[in-house]
Amino acid sequence: MNTVVSPVNVEQRQKLDIQAGDTVRVHQKIEEKGKTRIQMFEGIVIARKHGKEAGGTFTVRRTASGIGVEKIFPLYSPVIDKIEITKRSKVRRSKLYHIRDKAAKEIRRQMRNVIMMDTVMTNEEEKPEEVEEEKKEEVIETPTPEENKEAEEKSKEEDKKEEKTAE
């Protein structure tokens, strides 16, 4: 007699067919101070590992207030109350780890735009001529190779003088 006692409906979880590129909403049970509540985590599945076997996992990524958060969920965990597939996207890769870098690049790009917008917004009250003068002051001139060599020679000479004074 083989009786399997499991709080998880294994057959139902096997039929889910979660793939990379799916947008899922995972309802997770959390116990705090003797009470159990359900917390949702919604994001893109970036990886699925170990198939439908007992140790199968899937990784979900989402950005929360500009920071990327990833959670690895066991497929047959009793802590997971429900898994909803909200959207299915067609992807050409089984592991979407490149999304990490892509998201970081987009955030950097957005931050550049925010900074530019802030400077423009503060300068709107001023006259346009003053804005141009400020932009000219912010420009940093890069030294030529000859100037770099001269600066290196000066720093070497200063180092030698310091060594002699230390002796």
Name the CATH topology of 10-96: SH3 type barrels. (2.30.30)
- Give the residue, 73 or 90, on which the prediction is more confident: 73
pLDDT at 58 over 90: yes
The b-or-e profile of 51-82 (16+ CB within 10 A means b, else e) is eeeeebebbbbeeeeeeeeeeebebbeeebee
pLDDT at 69 over 70: yes
Residues in the chain: 167
User: Per the confidence metrics, is the pTM higher than 0.75?
Assistant: no
pLDDT at 134 over 70: no
pLDDT at 139 over 60: no
- Give the residue, 61 or 121, on which the prediction is more confident: 61
Show me where the domains of the chain are located. Answer: 10-96, 97-140
Q: Which residues contact 131 (CB under 8 A, 6 or more apart)?
A: 123
The distance between the two most distant Cα atoms of the chain, rounded to a whole number of Å, is: 90
pLDDT at 107 over 50: yes
